[in-house]
Amino acid sequence: MRLLRSPRLATVLLVVICICAFHTTSAIDIPLEVLGHINIEQLPTITAQSPSTLIAFPFDESFPVICEAKGNPEPEFRWTKNDQEFDPFLDPRLMKEENSGTFVIPNNGNLTEYQGTYRCYASNKLGIAISKEIEFIVPNVPKFPKETLDPVVVEEGQPFTLKCDPPNGIPPLQIYWMTINLQHIEQDQRVSVGLNGDLYFSHAVEKDSRRDYCCFASFPRIRTIVQKTAMSVIVRTRKSDSSENANAILERKPSLLTPPGGKSEIQLVKGEDLNLECIAEGFPTPQVEWMKMGHKFPSKVRFENHGKLVIVPRAEQEDSGKYMCKAKNPLGEVQHTFTVTVEEPPEWVFEPESQLSMIGSDVHIKCSASGIPQPTTTWRVNGGPLQESPARNRRVIGDTIVIHNAQVSDSAVYQCEASNRHGTILSNANIMIMNLQPMILTSEGEEYSVVERKRVTMHCKVFSSPPSTITWSKDDSPESVHGPRFTVHENGSLKIYNVERGDTGQYTCLAKNTEGSSAINAMLYVKDPTRIVVAPEDQRILIGTTAQLSCLAEYDKSFSNDFELLWEKDDMEIALNYTENSRYFVENGVFHIMNVSHSDQGVYTCVAKTPADQDVASALLMVLDVPDAPENLVLSDRKGRNVTLKWVPGDDHNSSTTEFVIEYEESHWEPSNWKELLRVPGNRNSAELRLNGNVNYCFRVSAVNAVGTGRPSEATERYKTPPEAPDRNPENIRIEGHLPHEMDIKWEPLLPIEHNGPSLEYKVSYRRQDVEEDWKEHTVKRHSFVVRNTPTFVPYEIKIQAKNRQGFGPEPKLVTGYSGEDFPSAAPDDVAVEVMNSSVVKVSWTRVHKDKLHGHLGGYRISWWRLRSLLDSKKSPGDKHTLAVPGDKNRATVPILTPFSEYSLIVMTFNGRGNGPGSHPVNFKTPEGVPEKNHDFRVTDVQRHTVSLVWKPPLEPNGILIGYLLKYHLINDTEEVGPLQTVDISKPETTTWILRDLEPLSKYKFYLCSCTTVGCGPDVSDECTTTLETTSILAPAVGLSKSASPSPPSTPKSPVTKPTRSTIGLASIHGGISTKGWFIGLMCAIALLTLIVLIACFVNRNKGGKYSVKEKEDLHPDVESQGMNDDTFCEYSDNDEKPLKGSQHSLSREIKAVESGDSLVDYGDEDAQFNEDGSFIGEYAGRKEKRASAEIKATIQTPA
C-alpha cells in the first residue's frame, strides 16, 4: 500500500500492541517483526478521516475529505453521498490520490452541489471497514432582508421592543445594537439585549427617541458582520394640566417581555452552557431575582445583563431541574419557571474491540452505549446490515454478537453504530481467526542493569495465536523462577522486586502454545546504587550576587562513562551551555548562578543519573531583595489636620518588612522635596497622620527590610489642611550682650511648614528679674530683637510666643538672660612666677572680684614675651605669646619657653566683651638647657684614610657651649654597623675636624651634637665612603688628629678603638675584590690571626686579675689636660636616624632623666607635676667619672 511504503508513517501505522492475549486488545496490528518472517493477511482498518462536520468557509482554498485505511492486501476505497454511490474519480474537478480514499474539493466554483453527507468504505478480500458520516456544509452568506421599517411610536413610560431577527448562519452568533455612527446603545436595568437579539425597553423615556437604532449580527467563524436597516423610535411625552403632574410616568407592576407565559421547558446537551433569561417591564424598573427550586446555585453560575441572565457553564446532569425567575418592583411581582433537562449524545459504555482468536474458539463482540435519550444500536458486518450477511454459527444475544466455533472464514469487520437526536458514534471491530506458533519479538541477548533493592522488568514480547504460555528460568535451570519477588505479566515481561546481588545472571524466556515454542536469553547485572553524598542546602541569597549549590554523588564504577549530574529548576532541566553570557555553570560539583535575579528563585534539584538508577536532592533558593513599593495608597478619615493613610504592602522578597517610612511633600515652601514624616512597624498597613495646618500635602510610602529600603510608592492625591494657630513656640532662645547697654535676643524660628497659617509673627516679652516691673512686649516678624538702653549686665526674664492670623501659639516658657557686658575694670593682683625648669614656669595670681568683671567670667589670659638671651646683654623683645585659662582659676603652667632667656609676663581677666587691664609685668629668667641641632654639618674632603668634617654652631645654644661630641662607625647596606667610636671636642669655637687612619673603600656614618653643662643636644649626621687604597689592603691603626686650622692646643690624642678586619669587611662596598682567590685567602689569615690575639688577651686578663687604682690612674690621663669633658658625651641621634649600636648608655640615662624633668603633663593646668628636683647636675658629675673610666678601659683592651 502507499502508506506502508512511507518510512515516516510506517512506525505510526504498525504500532506493536499486546502480545500474548490478543482477544483483549482494542485493535489488531501485525508487528513488523512478524511480517518480516511470514505474510499475514489483515482486515482493513480506517486510520484517518475528516470530522463529522466539514464547513466550506469561503476564505479557504480547498476542502479535503479524508479517508485513509490500512490492511493486507491493501484496501480499496469507495464513497457514498446521501446513501447513494459516489465516485470522486468521475468528477474531474476533484483532486484525488492513488491508493487513498481522500479527495479534495477546490473552492473555485459552485460548492453547493457538493453539499451532503458522505461515508467512506475501505475493503479487501477479508472484509470492509467504514468511516463515520461526514457532513459537508456550504454556508450561505447571511443577509438581512431589504425592508422599509415604520417608526416605532411609543408613549412615555410604556415598554417596547426593537426586533433584530438575525439571519441564519454558522454559529456562534453575536448581536450588537449601535447607532449609525457605531456608538453602542447604552444598556442598564431598563434597556437590555435578549438572547434572541431583540432590544428590550422596560419603559420608554424621552431620550429613547432617535432615528438610528441598528442591529449588527456577527458570524466570526465566517468572518462576516451584517447590518439591519436602521430603526426609528419616537417617544411621546405625557401632557398634563397640572404642573405637578407634568411629564409624570404612571407606575405599574412588572410583567415579562421574555419569556412569554409562566413556564417553559428547555433541553440542552451536556457540556453546553445553560442560558436562562428573564426581561421584565414596569415602572419603577423591576429587579430580577433567581433561584433553583430545591437546590442552591452551583458556584460556577454567573449572572449577567444586570441580573436578567443566568449562565451555567458546561452543564452536567446535576444542573437539570426547575429554575425560577422573579421580577419585582414596589407595585408587585411576576415569575416564570424553567424546567431544564440536560440530555447527552451517545457515549460508549462498552466499545467493540478488535480481536485475534484461534480457530475453533467462541468469539464475543460486545457493543453498548448510553445517552439521553437512550441511543439506538445498529450492527453491521463489512459495511452492510448484519441481517444481509447471515451465518449459521453467529447470533445476537442482547448487546453481544457470539460466533461459535469460529473458522478462518469468519474473519470480518464488524461495525456498531449508536445514535440519538444529539449525534451518532461508530466503531469498527476487526475479528481475525487464525493459528500461529509463538514468535518472540524481543531481541536475543538483551542486557539489563539494576541497583540493589530496586525493581527491574525484563521483556519478552510474543506474537502468537492462540496466546502463549510464558515462563522464565535462570542460568539454564530447568525450573522456572518463582517466589514473592518474581512476577510474570500477561505481556510476557518478568518483574523482579527488591533485587539482590545473587539475582545477577542469565535468564531465559520460553513461550509455548499448541503450535510450537520459542525462547530468548537475557543478562541481568546488579549494580551499586547511585547516592548523593553532598546534597544542596536551602539558601537565602541577596539579589545580584552569586549563588552556589553543592552536589556530589557516588555511583557504580562500571557507569563511569554513562554517569550524568544534571540540575533542574522547578522540575525543568537547566541547559548548561558554558558560553560567556551564560549565568549558569558547574565547577567541581558546585552549581553557580551568577548575578541572581528574582526569576532564579525556586526549587533546585540535583539529579545524579546512571542507566540503572538515579538519586535526587533538592534545595530551595530564596532571593532576597529590598521590598517592592507599596500600592493602592488611600487617604481616609479626613478630619481637619488628621488623616489616615492606608496602603497594600508590596512583595517583601523573602525578608520580612521591619518598618514603613512615610514621607510627605508640600507644594508651597519646598515643592518636589520629599521629607520623612513618620515610621511605623512592618506589620501595619495604615497610619494616623498628625499634620500641620495650611499645607497642601501629598504622601508616599517605602518599605524597609534587612536588605535595605525599597522604592517609594506612587504619591497620593493632594490633601490641604485647614489653617490653625501655631502648635509650638520658638526654641533655642539665646540672650547676648555685645554692647554694654543693649540686649540681643535671638531664637530658632519655626519651620515654614510649622506656621500653620499665614502671617506668622513673634511676640517678644521681657522684664528685669531683679526689680518689680511690668512686661514689655513687641511683635516682630524676624527671629531676633534688640532691647536698647539697658543697664550693664543685669538679669532679665524673656518669653517668645508665635502667632499667625488664626491666633497665638501655646503659653511660652520663661527664659532668663543678662543684658550687655562691659570690659572688666580690674587686673589680677599678686602675680608670681615659679621657674620649674629650663622651658616651663608656673604662674599664680589673685582672682578679680566679681563686681569688677561686668559680665560672665570667661577666664584669665597670660601674655609673655622674651626680652633677651642670657648670652646677650642687649635686650631685643620677641613675639608676644598668650595662654587662655578658662574658668575661675588662679594658677596655670606656661610651657615651651626658650632656655637661658629673660622673659616678661602679665595676667588679665576676660569676659564676653573682651579683656580687662593687665597686671604689673613680672620678669623672670629660665635656666640653661641642652643646645639645638648643629647647623650645616657635612663631610667636605674624603681621602683613602682621612675625612674632613665641617659644621656651624647651633642657632640656639640654650646655654653656654662647652664643646662637641663627635661619633662615627662603619656601616653597610644591610644596616649592619661596626663599633661606635667617639671624639670629645672640648673647645666650643672648633668648627672643623679631620679623622685619620680610616679604612679605605669603607662606608662611615658620622654624628655630631653640641653640649652645655646641662647636657648634649640632638645629633646631626652625615655619611661618606673612603676611596680605594692602592698600596696595601691593611690600614695602620686608626688615630685621631685635630684639624690644622683652627687646631686645638697640644692635646693628647683621644684613644679610640681600632676597627677589626671583620668589621671592615662588613662595611666594604668594593664590588669585585671580594670574589678574588687571593683576597679570600688573605681574609682567612686575618681572621685566624685575630682569633689568636683574642685568645691571648683572654688568658692574660685571667692571669692579671683586676687593675689597681694606681694602674687605672696611669692609664687615664687627666681629663682636663686632654681638653675633653665627659659632660659632652651624648648618645642622642637625630630623630631620622636609627639608635647607635655599641654606644655607652650612662650618659643616655642621664640625658633621659633631664628630658623627663622638662616634660609637661598638661600645659595650662596648675596641678601639673614635674620630676626636676634641682639635684641632677651633681648626679651627672658623679656619673661622668665612671663613664670616662669605662671608656678608657675599653680602649686599652681593644686589640690593635
Strand 1003-1011: give its sheet, edge to edge. Answer: 981-985, 963-970, 1003-1011, 1020-1025
* pLDDT over 50 at 923, yes or no: yes
- The mean-pLDDT minimum among 788-797, 854-863, 1155-1164 falls in 1155-1164
Q: What are phi and psi of 633, to 5 degrees?
A: -70, 130
Is the four-CA dihedral 571, 577, 583, 585 of positive or negative sign?
positive
* pLDDT over 90 at 736, yes or no: no
pLDDT in tens, 800-847: 999 999 999 999 999 999 999 999 999 999 999 999 999 999 999 999
Stated as kind and residue range, the H or E segment containing 1183 is helix 1176-1197
Q: What residue type is assigned to position 39 of the chain? A: N
Decide: residue 87, CB within 10 A, 0-12 exposed, 13-18 middle, 19+ buried. Answer: exposed
In the structure, what pLDDT confidence band is assigned to residue 1029 with cuts at 50, 70 and 90?
low
pLDDT at site 295: 87
Q: What are phi and psi of 746, to 5 degrees?
A: -130, 155
pLDDT at site 975: 65
pLDDT at site 389: 87
Instruction: Map grid coordinates 687571593 to a residue.
Output: 1078
First-to-last C-alpha distance (Å) of the chain: 126
* pLDDT over 60 at 1178, yes or no: no
* pLDDT over 50 at 1106, yes or no: no
- Nearest-angstrom CA–CA distance, 891 and 583: 75
3-state secondary structure 205-270: CHHHCEEEEEEEEEEHHHCEEEECCCEEEEEECCCCCCCCCCCCCCCEEEEEEECCCCEEEEEEEC
Instruction: Dig out the grid coordinates for 397 from the structure.
Output: 444475544
- The mean-pLDDT minimum among 32-41, 496-505, 522-531, 613-622 falls in 32-41
- Nearest-angstrom CA–CA distance, 860 and 893: 12
Q: Is 1164 helix (H, G, I), strand (E, B) or coil?
A: coil
Cα–Cα–Cα angle for 600, 605, 611, rounded to 5 degrees: 140
Q: What is the mean pLDDT of the chain?
A: 83
3-state secondary structure 1073-1093: HHHCHHHHHHHHHHHHHHHHH
Instruction: Dig out the grid coordinates for 578 from the structure.
Output: 558554558
* pLDDT over 50 at 530, yes or no: yes
- Nearest-angstrom CA–CA distance, 1028 and 944: 6
- Nearest-angstrom CA–CA distance, 477 and 494: 16
Residue (of 1091, 1071, 1073) closest to 1081 by Cα position:
1073
pLDDT at site 576: 83
- Distance of alpha carbon 139 from the chain centroid: 60
What value does the mean pLDDT take over residues 255-284? 93
Give long-range contacts, CB 8 A cutoff, 24+ apart: 145-153.
Answer: 146/229, 147/229, 148/229, 149/229, 149/230, 149/231, 149/232, 151/211, 151/231, 151/232, 151/233, 151/234, 152/231, 152/232, 152/233, 152/234, 153/234, 153/236
Residue (of 822, 844, 833) closest to 917 by Cα position:
822
In the structure, what pLDDT confidence band is assigned to residue 37 with cuts at 50, 70 and 90?
low
- Nearest-angstrom CA–CA distance, 205 and 154: 9
649 contacts 630 by C-beta, under 8 angstroms: yes
- Nearest-angstrom CA–CA distance, 681 and 705: 11
Is the four-CA dihedral 1153, 1157, 1163, 1166 of positive or negative sign?
positive
Beta strands in 870-988, from DSSP E residues, in sequence order:
880-886, 891-894, 901-911, 922-925, 935-942, 947-952, 963-970, 981-985
pLDDT at site 250: 84
- The mean-pLDDT minimum among 303-317, 1101-1115, 1173-1187 falls in 1173-1187
Instruction: Map grid coordinates 648626679 to a residue.
Output: 1179
What value does the mean pLDDT take over residues 1098-1125? 43
* pLDDT over 90 at 718, yes or no: yes
A 10 A CB-CB count for 702 gives 22
pLDDT at site 1145: 36
What value does the mean pLDDT take over residues 714-728? 94
- Nearest-angstrom CA–CA distance, 1129 and 963: 10
* pLDDT over 70 at 1079, yes or no: no
Beta bridge partners of 767: 797
* pLDDT over 80 at 239, yes or no: no
What value does the mean pLDDT take over residues 796-802? 95
- Nearest-angstrom CA–CA distance, 520 and 441: 10
pLDDT in tens, 983-1004: 999 999 999 999 998 999 889 9
What value does the mean pLDDT take over residues 106-113? 87
- Nearest-angstrom CA–CA distance, 305 and 324: 17
Q: What residue type is assigned to position 1179 of the chain? A: E
824 contacts 850 by C-beta, under 8 angstroms: no
Q: What are phi and psi of 206, to 5 degrees?
A: -60, -35
* pLDDT over 50 at 375, yes or no: yes
pLDDT at site 809: 93
Residue (of 957, 1022, 1019, 977) closest to 995 by Cα position:
1022
Beta bridge partners of 744: 736, 786
Cα–Cα–Cα angle for 1140, 1144, 1147, rounded to 5 degrees: 105
* pLDDT over 90 at 1036, yes or no: no
pLDDT at site 36: 62
Q: What residue type is assigned to position 508 of the chain? A: T
Cα–Cα–Cα angle for 474, 480, 483, rounded to 5 degrees: 100
pLDDT at site 1067: 37
Instruction: Dig out the grid coordinates for 1009 from the structure.
Output: 651634637
What value does the mean pLDDT take over residues 292-302? 88
pTM: 0.46
pLDDT at site 228: 92
In the structure, what pLDDT confidence band is assigned to residue 1064 with cuts at 50, 70 and 90?
very low
* pLDDT over 60 at 707, yes or no: yes
In the structure, what pLDDT confidence band is assigned to residue 1169 with cuts at 50, 70 and 90?
very low
* pLDDT over 50 at 1152, yes or no: no
Q: What are phi and psi of 887, to 5 degrees?
A: 85, 180
Stated as kind and residue range, the H or E segment containing 510 is strand 505-513
Stated as kind and residue range, the H or E segment containing 153 is strand 152-155
pLDDT at site 23: 30
Contacts of 198 (CB under 8 A, 6+ apart): 161, 162, 163, 164, 258
pLDDT at site 133: 92
Pairing type for strands 423-433 and 355-357 reads parallel
- The mean-pLDDT minimum among 840-844, 875-879, 912-916 falls in 875-879
pLDDT at site 1163: 39
In the structure, what pLDDT confidence band is assigned to residue 72 with cuts at 50, 70 and 90?
confident
Share of the chain above pLDDT 70, in %: 83
Residue (of 214, 333, 200) closest to 258 by Cα position:
200
Instruction: Map grid coordinates 474473519 to a residue.
Output: 411
Instruction: Dig out the grid coordinates for 452 from the structure.
Output: 540493589
* pLDDT over 60 at 297, yes or no: yes
pLDDT at site 784: 93
pLDDT at site 1102: 59
Share of the chain above pLDDT 90, in %: 64
Beta bridge partners of 521: 508
Instruction: Dig out the grid coordinates for 543 from the structure.
Output: 539579589
- Nearest-angstrom CA–CA distance, 673 and 800: 30
pLDDT at site 388: 87
pLDDT: is 668 or 1190 the higher one?
Answer: 668
pLDDT at site 33: 64
* pLDDT over 70 at 24, yes or no: no
pLDDT in tens, 533-577: 999 999 999 999 999 999 999 999 999 999 999 999 999 999 887
A 10 A CB-CB count for 956 gives 17
What value does the mean pLDDT take over residues 385-389? 88
In the structure, what pLDDT confidence band is assigned to residue 1101 with cuts at 50, 70 and 90?
low
A 10 A CB-CB count for 809 gives 22
* pLDDT over 90 at 1033, yes or no: no
Stated as kind and residue range, the H or E segment containing 1180 is helix 1176-1197
* pLDDT over 70 at 1112, yes or no: no
Residue (of 968, 964, 1015) closest to 985 by Cα position:
964
* pLDDT over 80 at 1080, yes or no: no
